[in-house]
Amino acid sequence: MEPTRETDKELIEQIQHRFTKMIKNVDSKSYDDRVRYLGLWTLEERRNRHDLIELFKVFKELSRVRTDDLFMLDENTKGTGVTL
């Protein structure tokens, strides 16, 4: 990951950590407990969800990205061999 993106990611995570501490009755709990109590997703879970949604859109041709740009059919396999 690029350094600037890594820095941005860390800043956003710090904001979520601070935000969850501002809520009464959960400020003394651990970050994981606060997130669970508040019904929030961690930032990593959100990123993974976003990636899965984007991949779904690509395969359903709802995205500008084409499957041919991401995947290449492996001619040496029988059936549906796909390589990345």
For residues 72 and 82, give the distance between their C-alpha atoms in angstroms, rounded to a whole number.
6
Beta-strand ranges (E) seen in the chain are 72-73, 82-83
The number of folded domains in the chain is 1
Q: What range does the domain containing 37 cover?
A: 3-83
| pTM for this model (two decimals) | 0.59
For residues 78 and 83, give the distance between their C-alpha atoms in angstroms, rounded to a whole number.
13
Q: What digits encode the pLDDT tens for the residues 24-76?
A: 989 899 999 999 999 999 888 998 999 999 989 988 889 888 877 777 767 77
For residues 5 and 44, give the distance between their C-alpha atoms in angstroms, rounded to a whole number.
14
